[in-house]
């Protein structure tokens, strides 16, 4: 999984959603597409503490409003984000980005 996200051609985050959706719509089983964006990159990069939800592993995860196994586009329905086990204050980030965009 690699959208080769670059500032000039793609937006961080959305490109990855589009790529995983494309894999599923091309016939890859949804769970396999999800693993290609999580578990497999962690293995390839030699990051044994990431990639799956297991006790003792780093908790970088998205909490979704809807089940992506029902429709892979549900990965865009994000309720919460956790980075290293800590909730990301998405509202604060949005407010900061809005101010920076105005500058």
Do 72 and 33 contact (CB within 8 A), yes or no?
yes
**What is the reported pLDDT for 18?**
86
Whether residue 88 is contained in a domain is answered as yes
**What is the reported pLDDT for 98?**
80
Whether residue 2 is contained in a domain is answered as no
The Cα–Cα gap between 71 and 87 comes to: 25
Structural domain that includes position 39: 14-102
Q: What is the pTM of this model?
A: 0.76
pLDDT tens, the chain, 103 aa long? 665 655 666 666 778 888 899 999 999 999 999 999 899 999 999 999 999 999 999 989 999 999 999 999 999 999 999 999 999 999 998 898 887 666 5
**What is the reported pLDDT for 16?**
83
**What is the reported pLDDT for 2?**
62
The Cα–Cα gap between 56 and 7 comes to: 34
Whether residue 64 is contained in a domain is answered as yes
**How many domains in the chain?**
1
Closest of 83, 64, 72, 84 to residue 32, by C-alpha = 72
Whether residue 22 is contained in a domain is answered as yes
């Amino acid at each position: 999984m690699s959208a080769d996200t670059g500032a000039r051609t793609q937006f961080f985050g959305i490109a990855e959603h589009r790529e995983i959706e494309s894999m599923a719509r091309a016939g890859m089983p949804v769970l396999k597409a999800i693993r290609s964006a999580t578990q497999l990159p962690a293995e390839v990069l030699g990051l044994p503490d990431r990639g799956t939800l297991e006790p003792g592993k780093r908790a970088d995860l998205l909490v979704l409003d809807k089940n992506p196994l029902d429709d892979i586009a549900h990965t865009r329905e994000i309720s919460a984000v956790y980075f290293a086990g800590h909730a990301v204050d998405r509202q604060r980030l949005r407010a900061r980005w809005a101010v920076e965009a105005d500058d």
